[in-house]
Amino acid sequence: MKLSAADLFLFLVKWRKFIAVNIVVVAVVLAILSLLLPPEYTSSTSIMPSFDQVMGISMGETPNISGLLSNLPGLPGFVSPSDIYAYILQSRTIGEKIVDSLGLKSVYKTEQMEDALRSLYRHVDINVQPAGIIKISCRAPTRDLAYKMAKLFVDELDRFNRDAVMTKGRNMRMFVERRLREVEAELKATEEALRDFNEKNKTVKLDEELLKAIEVYSDLKSQLLSYEVKRDFLKSISGNENPDLKRVEAQIAALKSKLQEIEEGEGEGFGAGFSIPLSQLPEKSVEYARLLRDVEVKTKLYAFLVEQYETAKIMESKDTPTLQVIEEAEVPEKRSWPRRKVLVLEGILLSFVLSVFFAALFEYTGKTGGSREKWDRVLNVLRGDLGIKK
């Protein structure tokens, strides 16, 4: 049986009062409900991690910072700086400060911090966009509270990051400071030994090639010692699975292999391209060469540690913003919920669809007759499925 446009029009005219009454009732109820529902306001801000520093870790020194943060639960094996920031923003550390600062326990009508934190993060959306920008949207019952929440999230993350920078700088300074004192004492002792040797043996002179070999050796040895300092520091702040630690250890192994060639080549060398083995030199020349080598190694290592010490002191005293705020939080002008017009219009559309559906159902059962018996059969089937006795 085909229905024409005229049939559909006549059907709607016949049931017009039923449909109109349902639509009016639903629209009025939703309009009243939208007036009674507590309003919500949304304030948003967008931030981006600093290009050169993330939690005090130089991106130039540590391309993959995930290893230093592998002890944080919930983070995947590879993360971007934006992922780390998003994780920190959702952490208990940040959440508790916001709850306490804004008095959110009274806002959410709870006495427990756990309940307040759950309510807080139900009203906060933190999304990392493809370009690495982090968008923070905060919903609250008042305009001012929504604005304060969004702004405080950024402020607390920045404070957390600056504390991490200064803490890392302080730890690094203390670590390098200890090593610097040791190397300074060793350098002083070696320089005194070389001076005493020169005073006693003024005629000892080394070949140009041997001096070049000593310079190459001292460069490699000082590099090895500087990498060992980095390795020891990384071990003190992270686990053995840190990829930066593995990278440093690989450099150490390569330098040790090269130094072994120089030390053992040509019979207690210098080898690896140098034709003068130490074993063929006079005893005084060998002693002078070793003292000269040790002084150069200690001098270069000392210079490296002084540079690291100054860098650590700068990091420790650094108190500058660590975030790039792309979009500042603002006091919202309009409420984000309830959206009264949208709510009423959606209710009218839904009530129209349901009214037409039930009108068609009533029309069908009325025309075919025996509707009472049909409904009884439907109920009996449902009772059977549910195991309900009649």
Domain boundaries along the sequence of the chain: 5-37+338-386, 41-165+323-327, 170-317
Residue 56 has a pLDDT of 41
CATH number of 41-165+323-327: 3.30.1890.10
Q: Is the pTM of this model over 0.95?
A: no
Question: What burial letters (b/e) apply to 283-321, b meaning 16+ CB within 10 Å?
Answer: eebebbbbbbbbbbbbbbbbebbeebbeebbebbeeeee
Residue 274 has a pLDDT of 44
Residue 263 has a pLDDT of 66
Residue 216 has a pLDDT of 80
Contacts of 172 (CB under 8 A, 6+ apart): 233, 308, 311, 312, 315, 316
Residue 348 has a pLDDT of 87
Q: Are 223 and 255 in contact, with CB atoms under 8 Å apart?
A: yes
Q: 10-residue block means of pLDDT along the chain (390 residues)?
A: 70 84 86 78 90 43 38 49 88 94 93 94 92 92 94 92 79 87 91 87 71 80 87 76 80 85 56 48 74 88 89 74 84 78 83 87 65 61 66
Residue 203 has a pLDDT of 62
Residue 55 has a pLDDT of 41
The pair of three-digit structure tokens given for residue 151, joined into one six-digit string: 């702004």
Residue 214 has a pLDDT of 78
Q: What is the DSSP letter of 40?
A: B
